[in-house]
Structure 1
Amino acid sequence: MASVWAMAAVAAALAWFLFIGLRARRSDEGLDDYLTARHSQGAATLALSFVASGLGAWILLVPPEVAAFVGPVALAGYAVGAALPFVLLAWVAPALRRRLPAGRSLTDYAAERFGTPVRLWVLGLALLYMLCFLTAELTALGSIVALLTGADGRWAMLAVAGVTLAYTTWGGLRASLATDRWQAWLLLALLAGVAALALTQPAPPGAATPSAPADAPLAVGLSVAATLVIAVTAANLFHQGYWQRLWAATDTRALHRAAWAGALVSAAAIAVVGALGIVAALRGLPLGQPPVPLFALVQQGPAWGVWAVLLLAVALVASSVDTLQSGIASLLVTQHRGATLAGARWATVLLMVPVLLVAWQGLSVLRLFLVADLLCATAAVPLLMGLHPRVPRHAALAGMLAGVVGAVLPDTLASASLWQGIVAATFPTNVPTLAPFAGALLASSAVALLLTWLDQARASPQRNGQRSSPT
């Protein structure tokens, strides 16, 4: 009976999301409005959208596990990593809106500032990251449904993909923004309810001694925290869904307020969910294999807690998936000058075919996800440096290439084998390690800064000579 009520709640939520999304479409919308909803959204709507888009089903799985097995320092790194992309968005928004008032994507900025090679590299990174994100969200939903109900989770995967595809195809970014408002409030309310339930449940009789340390050495916690901050921040810099909202904002002030609100709420949500993992470990609950501390807590309580978590998972996945669907379609369409509204809709539909085929298999995409994060880390700093007018094009491109070398270099030096360095940078154990991320970030930054300095040093004598020459 609990499973029936859970499925009914999920169906009702999806039906409501579909209704809201279909209503959001404007009768006179053109391609630009479909992709950007330009200058139409205030701070409150965008803040809720950032929260809904940034939090996915992964928060139910990864932060509790990290917190339970590594401790609060690593959890703090995760929370900071989730908040920093919004802080960066608030920082770069004024410059980008001035530079590209009619912009639609991050690739528009890359092309205008650095030319075609960097545009294509940024396009590839953004597509790889977002497709991995989309597949991982649907795969996680299938796993959560199977774990909580014992049913085949693929029905939920298809339902969420179908519903979000229907309203994003019909209404574009406006549909995603409209549903985000409801999804954000729903997921925050459910998150508060689930946390209250988990914290008020007494420890079961006969619980074992704490099943996870929750107090790993400080050096380990700091290493994990630094890795998560670099990986999450760099990858989300290439999330097209966030860049769409940059141009959807009514003005820079609204975007700035929304981004900071999204950062604070997202960090708080991750901190709360992660703390539940520590509680589960300290109560000595069996965390499962693979570990799922949050579910270990919830399954000790009443049946309604299970369907609340299931509904929370659906809201989290739907809010992420519709943003990714709209973002990927926007990214693809903006690469073609003759793109049409019909083409944008077809792109939205077609991109879901390979995603669903992979998600249907229930395969882990974690390793590919980590590689995508690492590649994003190779390009993040040079790309942002382009906001300064004195950074030459060749410095950014060389910095990105140096970042790839830097990702491989630490483990190459440690093992005295280039092959081992390459293998380590693909994360064969599915565990993110600091060395490749730190190497990518430091090498890309150092080379881009060095070439910029050399370019300025060469230019200074020329400028001085021009000033001293007779007129």
Structure 2
Amino acid sequence: MRASSPQALGSGILFTYPQIATIAGVQGLLVYALSSALPLLVFGALGPIIRRKCPEGFVLTEWTRQRYGVVGGIFLSLCTLITMFLYMVAELSALQQIVNILTGLNGLPVVIVECAVTTVYTSLGGFKVSFVTDNIQGTMVIGLIIMGVIAVGVETDIDRSLIEQSGYLDASLLGWQLIYILPVAILSNDFFLSGFWLRTFASRTDKDLWIGVSLASAGVLIILTLLGVGGMLAAWSGAYTIGDEANGSVAFFLLLGQLPAWVIGVVLVMTISLSTAAFDSFQSAMISTASNDFFRNKLNIWIIRAAVVALIFPVVVVALRSPDILRIFLISDLVSASVVPCLVIGLNERFYWYRGFDFVVGGLGGIFTIFLFGLVYFDGDAGLAGDLLLLEGGLYTEDWSVFGAFVAAPVGGLLWAFGACALRIGFLWVVARLTGRRFDALDRPLPASFGSPDAFDEHDGEAVLAPGVTPDNKGRFF
């Protein structure tokens, strides 16, 4: 993992972080920036564990398949693909809006050109090309920040009376809610970004991994905080009207609109380069995940290249609707908050009896619990409960609905998972009693080195073979 290339640093950050600043002020911005940066350290902590458990893997779904079986692996793959699809949509939607705002022109031609260029070199070069463009991405981000800070510092006049009027320096209800919402949302969602795992597995040593994620975390924190401050500066300079929630996502660009034309031109070029570097990472990660998880890398290279091309069309169609970028991210966050807590239970060896069935039921149950919470919160209104799943009200509601949804997702998921586990074990016990077969639902799985003397396994010696039990090192769904 390279410090200069966090996968999520696409052009969407130019919308979301300034928008949070206009909604929840300094409190919300700092929480958002810390919640985006600190979870990168999780890859340094969990990466070595998962690499030891699955030394031949290169993405999280590979370990999931090994631990939970084929069905569990496919379930996580689907969640991962949905998340990356949403990120690709957000990236193109952001680019289209940026071009339109900064130039007044239709952003569609730029979107089409970017898709064509990234599709060509991604289909030909694969993920290796993405590592190269990561360096471009990091350079563009740093250049954008440096130039933006200098230009804004020289050209922008702050109306001090607007500072107190904005209330951005004060705490707020949403700001306090975000202290829980954003860490849960972003930490769990990072698990679904295959690009992070590809870089984690590609690191040479655990030490290199820790150095990479530490530098990346520090760099991301600084970059995102500076970008978010642009939202507040837009309000304090009068470029953005305080309280105008409809235009909060474009606050940064309203600030840029006060700068000389040449600055806007350079920013536009840097932004397109940034967007291209982020978009190709999602493209290659999505195709790699699908090829590995569904076809076990047995597809002909030309089929893979055709898949890269075919993927672009639905992404562009959805992106052209230009939905709220922050809302897209939050929808994927709700899914990940439901699934990931049920997933990581399997990392603990004490839960060796936990199976893929429990994981899948828990993940789906967490999503369903959000709907159930909505029914209770909105007095049985199924329509509003359904809207909560898609966060139709955004993050701007001055109530506890969004907060409750992010509580219901992980808590509900875990309750469903352990409930399914108890039901499954009880059912297998009854079947064993009725058929006279041995009840083995609570047996420890065999170590990976059984039948493979040269294989390393950190838990060798813990499993005991009972008479008549055959070795099976694969993950079991039931």
- TM-score between the two structures when normalised by the length of structure 1: 0.80
Residue 417 to residue 322, structure 1, CA distance change in 2 (3 Å): same
Shift of 1:362: 3.9
- 1:428 pairs with 2:412: no
- Among 252, 255, 269, the residue aligned to 2:223: 269
Could you tell me which residue of structure 2 aligns to residue 114 of structure 1?
68
Q: Which has the higher helix share?
A: 1
Shift of 1:383: 1.1
Equivalent-residue separation in structure 1 for 2:163 and 2:60 (angstroms): 50
* Map 1:162-241 → 2, pairs under 5 A: 162-203=116-157, 212-215=166-169, 217-241=171-195
Shift of 1:190: 1.7
Whether the 8 Å CA contact 2:369–2:413 is kept in 1: the answer is yes
- Among 443, 446, 460, the residue aligned to 2:412: 443
Shift of 1:361: 4.6
Q: Name the SS for the 1:138 alignment partner.
A: helix
Q: Name the SS for the 1:324 alignment partner.
A: helix
Equivalent-residue separation in structure 2 for 1:143 and 1:64 (angstroms): 15
- 1:358 pairs with 2:318: yes
Please, which moves more after superposition, 200-209 or 403-412? 200-209
Residue 358 to residue 424, structure 1, CA distance change in 2 (3 Å): closer
Q: Name the SS for the 2:347 alignment partner.
A: coil
Residue 132 to residue 260, structure 1, CA distance change in 2 (3 Å): same
The one-letter code sitting in structure 2 at the alignment partner of 1:290 is: N
Could you tell me which residue of structure 1 aligns to residue 109 of structure 2?
155
Equivalent-residue separation in structure 2 for 1:75 and 1:221 (angstroms): 9
Whether the 8 Å CA contact 2:159–2:237 is kept in 1: the answer is no
* Map 1:294-305 → 2, pairs under 5 A: 294-305=252-263
Q: Deviations over 1:386-444 (max 9, x none)?
A: 11123211543443244224323433222331624333222122337221112112233
Q: Name the SS for the 1:104 alignment partner.
A: coil
Could you tell me which residue of structure 2 aligns to residue 321 of structure 1?
279
Whether the 8 Å CA contact 1:87–1:260 is kept in 2: the answer is yes
Residue 69 to residue 345, structure 1, CA distance change in 2 (3 Å): same
Q: Name the SS for the 1:313 alignment partner.
A: helix
The one-letter code sitting in structure 1 at the alignment partner of 2:404 is: A
- 1:332 pairs with 2:290: yes
Equivalent-residue separation in structure 2 for 1:326 and 1:366 (angstroms): 23
- Among 371, 385, 392, the residue aligned to 2:345: 385
Whether the 8 Å CA contact 2:136–2:274 is kept in 1: the answer is no
Q: Deviations over 1:77-96 (max 9, x none)?
A: 21122124422211111111
Q: Name the SS for the 1:54 alignment partner.
A: coil
Could you tell me which residue of structure 2 aligns to residue 412 of structure 1?
375
Q: Deviations over 1:441-467 (max 9, x none)?
A: 2233455578889999x99x999xxx9
Shift of 1:222: 1.4
Equivalent-residue separation in structure 2 for 1:195 and 1:139 (angstroms): 25
Q: Name the SS for the 2:240 alignment partner.
A: coil
The one-letter code sitting in structure 1 at the alignment partner of 2:330 is: L
Could you tell me which residue of structure 1 aligns to residue 267 of structure 2?
309
The one-letter code sitting in structure 1 at the alignment partner of 2:54 is: L
Residue 223 to residue 233, structure 1, CA distance change in 2 (3 Å): same
Q: Deviations over 1:220-239 (max 9, x none)?
A: 21113422222222222101
Residue 453 to residue 263, structure 1, CA distance change in 2 (3 Å): farther
The one-letter code sitting in structure 1 at the alignment partner of 2:146 is: A
Equivalent-residue separation in structure 2 for 1:324 and 1:413 (angstroms): 37
Could you tell me which residue of structure 2 aligns to residue 60 of structure 1?
14
Residue 305 to residue 426, structure 1, CA distance change in 2 (3 Å): same
- 1:290 pairs with 2:244: no
Equivalent-residue separation in structure 1 for 2:256 and 2:335 (angstroms): 37
Whether the 8 Å CA contact 1:234–1:376 is kept in 2: the answer is yes
Residue 462 to residue 108, structure 1, CA distance change in 2 (3 Å): closer
Could you tell me which residue of structure 1 aligns to residue 86 of structure 2?
132
Equivalent-residue separation in structure 2 for 1:131 and 1:252 (angstroms): 30
Residue 85 to residue 168, structure 1, CA distance change in 2 (3 Å): farther
Shift of 1:333: 0.5
Whether the 8 Å CA contact 2:374–2:388 is kept in 1: the answer is yes
Q: Deviations over 1:320-370 (max 9, x none)?
A: 101000001001100213223333322222211211233345455765543
Could you tell me which residue of structure 2 aligns to residue 25 of structure 1?
none
The one-letter code sitting in structure 1 at the alignment partner of 2:3 is: A
Could you tell me which residue of structure 2 aligns to residue 48 of structure 1?
4
Equivalent-residue separation in structure 2 for 1:368 and 1:202 (angstroms): 31
Whether the 8 Å CA contact 2:96–2:110 is kept in 1: the answer is yes
Residue 422 to residue 286, structure 1, CA distance change in 2 (3 Å): closer
Whether the 8 Å CA contact 1:210–1:284 is kept in 2: the answer is no
The one-letter code sitting in structure 1 at the alignment partner of 2:334 is: L
Equivalent-residue separation in structure 2 for 1:443 and 1:362 (angstroms): 32
Instruction: Provide structure 2 residue ranges, at least 5 long, that are not aligned to the other structure.
Output: 397-401, 430-439, 445-463, 465-478
Residue 205 to residue 126, structure 1, CA distance change in 2 (3 Å): closer
Whether the 8 Å CA contact 2:3–2:212 is kept in 1: the answer is yes
Whether the 8 Å CA contact 2:158–2:233 is kept in 1: the answer is no
Whether the 8 Å CA contact 1:403–1:440 is kept in 2: the answer is yes
Whether the 8 Å CA contact 1:191–1:312 is kept in 2: the answer is no
Equivalent-residue separation in structure 2 for 1:111 and 1:179 (angstroms): 30
Equivalent-residue separation in structure 1 for 2:321 and 2:381 (angstroms): 33
Equivalent-residue separation in structure 2 for 1:248 and 1:414 (angstroms): 45
Equivalenced residue count is 418
Residue 121 to residue 266, structure 1, CA distance change in 2 (3 Å): same
